[in-house]
Every structure is written in structure tokens, then in C-alpha cells.
Amino acid sequence: MSTHIEASEGDIADAVLLPGDPLRAQHIAERFLENARCYNRVRGMLGFTGTYRGVPVSVQGTGMGQPSLSIYATELFRFYGVQKAVRVGTCGALRADGKLREVVIASGACSDSALLSQRFGRLHFAPVADFALLNAARLAAEREGVPCRVGLVASSDLFYDDNENWRLWAKYGVLGVEMESAELYTLAARFGRQALAILTVSDNVATGEGIGAQERENGFDAAARLALEAATALPAQSAGNDNPGSKPAECGV
Ligand code: HPA
């Protein structure tokens, strides 16, 4: 039991999917997991554990924004020993050619958040995805015929951004804006765990197009499937417990 998660030790799997919306966590558990059991209802931030193709997997809501995700990801890494964390969420495309419902696999996440400056001061840290998870997700997308792009996203603290910071990110090739991935990648580095974000384009910031609230809640099964395939594809590559630094991916030659 931790401050925001009422699960007992052993209730949460090594691999966890992290949707922002707790109702999406319930949807993923009901649609994709076998024998799913709810382990958390604190603050309505639902968490479930079941199996996917026989492998234990959990799915935990994180809420919106980096401070909220930070609480859940820290507790999962620190108190429940979670090894692989895969965010499944939405993003706004930043380029006019970014298509609604397309999947963006975030190789790295820029941010405007004070969380990074609180930790690193005048230094800059580059929050990046775990390569093995990213590669597994990309291969699953190829196998399942899911159109996807791999590239940078930006995790902003502002959903309603009067300054339109996204324009500068777009100029530098950032594919999408969302609100959580940079903190997830930073925490994974801090705890020496594996993390990835798989995002479905729910709107296009450049053109103003978007999809409805109902589809946002339940319509992203392709990304959830890729996340489950990636999270269960390989054994965890964790270097161990608290702060060993993340382990570099090994490439066979
Ligand atoms: N901004 C921030 N987060 C988002 C957006 C957006 O436009 N779309 C989906 N998540």
C-alpha cells in the first residue's frame, strides 16, 4: 500500500500500461485482459491486474498532466517494483500532415515543465524512451498493420496555451503535444526502469480538427494493443532497484 495506491505487495504486475483516463484503464482491462481484478479505487484512479496472452499485466490510470502521472509512476516504480511502464494516451498533432487516429510512438519527449528545471537546474536532461520497448512496439505495429510514426513529442503543462509554444516545437520536427511522457521517461531513468509512450492522435493543433469525447475514451484500441504487445514481448531489462541509471540497450551484431 502506498499513499495513492491501495494495492498489496504482489498485486501489481512487472509490466504496467498507463492511460491518463481511469475509465480507459477499465476499458483496456475489460477488453484485453483475462481474469482482470481491480486493485485500486483511491480517488477513482482505477488500477487492474490480469493477464495478456498468459503474461501478467496491470493497467493503472495516472490522471492528466505530469505532476499527477509523477505520483503514480513514482509509487509504481518505488513501492511496487514495476519494471516496464507503457503510457497509452492521446496527443495533438503539430504538423498539418498529422492524421487523426494515427499512432505516434514517442522516441523522446521535450517539455516546458518546471519539473525538469526543479530536478536539473541549469542542466538539461533529454527524456527518452526505452529502445527495446520502442522497437517491440514498432514491430508490433508493422505486424498488425497499424499506421504509426516514431519521433519526438512535447509534454506541456498547458492544454490551453495562449503562447502557442507548439509552433516552435513543430519547427524542430516534434510530431505531437501531450502532457505526461517527459516525466514518465525521466522517472524511468531515475529508477533504472523501462518506459515508452504510445499516443493516438486525437486532434490536430495546426488545423483545428479533432475527434469526439466518446471516441477519446474508448476508441484507441490499436494503441492499447501495441502497448500490450510491447510490454509483454521481452523480459524486463532493468538494472535493478533505486537509481542505478538506465541500462543501455544491447544490440546483437
Ligand atoms: N494538447 C495537450 N495535450 C493533448 C492534446 C493537445 O492538443 N491533445 C491530446 N492531448
Please report, for the chain, the start and end positions of each structural domain, with discontinuous segments joined by +: 15-236
Q: What is the model's pLDDT at position 11?
A: 97
250: helix, strand or coil: coil
Check if the beta carbon of residue 98 is closer than 8 Å to that of residue 204: yes
CA of 64 to the centre of ligand 1 (A): 10
Question: Is the Cβ atom of 176 under 6 angstroms away from ligand 1?
Answer: no
Which is the closest atom of ligand 1 to the Cα of 210? 8
Which is the closest atom of ligand 1 to the Cα of 161? 1
Distance set, CA 207 to CA 94, 97, 154, 171 (Å): 9, 9, 18, 15
Task: Look up residue 40 and give its three cell numbers.
Answer: 485500486
Q: What is the model's pLDDT at position 213?
A: 76
Check if the beta carbon of residue 62 is closer than 8 Å to that of residue 20: yes
For the chain, the C-alpha Rg in angstroms (whole number) is: 17
Q: What is the model's pLDDT at position 16?
A: 98
Ligand 1: residue of 24, 69, 91 to mutate (most ligand atoms within 8 A of CB) is: 91
CA of 234 to the centre of ligand 1 (A): 30
204: helix, strand or coil: strand
Spatial distance between the Cα atoms of 193 and 173, rounded to a whole number of angstroms: 27
Q: Which residues are catalytic?
A: 203
Which is the closest atom of ligand 1 to the Cα of 158? 2
Q: Which residues of the chain fall short of a pLDDT of 70? A: 216-219, 238-253
DSSP state of 107: E
Distance linking the first and last C-alpha atoms of the chain: 44
Q: What is the CATH code for 15-236?
A: 3.40.50.1580
Question: Is the Cβ atom of 178 under 6 angstroms away from ligand 1?
Answer: yes
243 C-beta neighbours (distance < 10 Å), count: 10
Q: What is the model's pLDDT at position 236?
A: 73
Question: Is the Cβ atom of 111 under 6 angstroms away from ligand 1?
Answer: no
Q: What is the model's pLDDT at position 71?
A: 98
For residue 154, the one-letter residue type is A
Tell which residue, 19, 49, 17, 54, has the closest CA to residue 36. 49
| Phi, psi for 169 (deg, rounded to 5) | -60, -45
Q: What is the model's pLDDT at position 246?
A: 46
55: helix, strand or coil: strand
Distance set, CA 212 to CA 23, 90, 99, 101, 217 (Å): 16, 12, 15, 12, 9
Q: What is the model's pLDDT at position 62?
A: 98
Spatial distance between the Cα atoms of 194 and 183, rounded to a whole number of angstroms: 13
Question: Is the Cβ atom of 199 under 6 angstroms away from ligand 1?
Answer: no
Check if the beta carbon of residue 178 is closer than 8 Å to that of residue 117: no
DSSP state of 8: P
> What are the beta bridge partners of residue 91?
201
Residue pLDDT, tens place only, 19-72: 999 999 999 999 999 999 999 999 999 999 999 999 999 999 999 999 999 999
CA of 177 to the centre of ligand 1 (A): 5
Spatial distance between the Cα atoms of 180 and 68, rounded to a whole number of angstroms: 9
Q: What is the model's pLDDT at position 202?
A: 95
